[in-house]
């Protein structure tokens, strides 16, 4: 599924630039994606669109997000730390954080790796037609092992 999402991000600058679902299925199939992958990705994207419409509100100064046990089963310490980092850097507002958590929970495949979570963050920005700022792009695309620390 994540490969399909990355393909969509790379080939369509915004969700409304994508063809209609039936045509998009054919295009994705022609590129070589399996029907199950396509179905899972499109279902996930439908959920993302619904989440974008329903998530509202602004952060309360000094508030803290408490993760449920179910969320902690999917989002390990590294994933929660990454979300917290983006939020504290001011690039992931509380409503976007909630979208990321919702979509991570929707994957439904147990514990999520950090790389998959990064794709979810990228797709949340994509779904809103927003280009992530340089800090987000750096964090999403640079392998932590490649960083030079001075």
Residue pair 32/79 in contact (Cβ under 8 Å)? The answer is no
Integer Cα distance of 16 and 129 in angstroms: 9
Query: Within 13 Å, how many C-alpha atoms sit on residue 124's CB side?
Result: 27
Give exposure, 23-38, as e/b (b: 16+ Cβ within 10 Å): ebbeebeeeebeeebb
pLDDT at 73: 93
**If you ran DSSP here, which 8-state letter would residue 109 be given?**
S
Residue 121: closest CA among 101, 105, 106: 101
Is the distance from CB of 83 to CB of 75 less than 8 angstroms?
A: yes
- Distance separating the N- and C-terminal Cα atoms of the chain: 37
Residue 13: half-sphere exposure toward Cβ, Cα within 13 Å: 1
Residue at token pair 């390990």: 76
| Residue-level pLDDT at 150 | 36
Pair of tokens at residue 64: 């803290």
pLDDT at 145: 52
Tell me what pLDDT residue 55 has. Answer: 66
Give the pLDDT of the chain (150 residues) as one tens digit per residue: 999 999 999 999 888 888 998 999 999 999 999 999 999 999 999 999 888 877 666 656 667 889 999 999 999 999 999 999 998 888 888 899 999 999 999 998 788 989 999 999 999 999 988 877 776 677 666 554 543 443
- Say what the pLDDT of residue 148 is: 40
Residues 6+ apart with CB under 8 A from 63: 94
């Amino acid at each position: 599924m994540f490969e399909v999402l990355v393909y969509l991000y790379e080939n369509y600058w915004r969700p409304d630039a994508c063809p209609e679902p039936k045509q998009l299925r054919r295009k994705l199939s022609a590129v070589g994606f399996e029907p199950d992958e396509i179905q899972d990705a499109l279902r996930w994207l439908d959920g993302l669109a619904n989440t974008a419409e329903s998530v509202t509100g602004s952060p309360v100064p000094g508030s803290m997000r408490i993760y449920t046990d179910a969320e902690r089963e999917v989002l390990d310490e590294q994933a929660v730390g990454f979300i917290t980092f983006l939020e504290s850097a001011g690039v992931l507002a509380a409503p976007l954080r909630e979208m990321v958590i919702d979509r991570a929970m929707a994957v439904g495949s147990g514990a999520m790796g950090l790389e998959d979570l990064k794709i979810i963050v990228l797709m949340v920005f994509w779904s809103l037609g927003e280009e992530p700022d340089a800090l987000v792009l750096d964090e999403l695309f640079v392998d932590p092992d490649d960083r030079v620390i001075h």
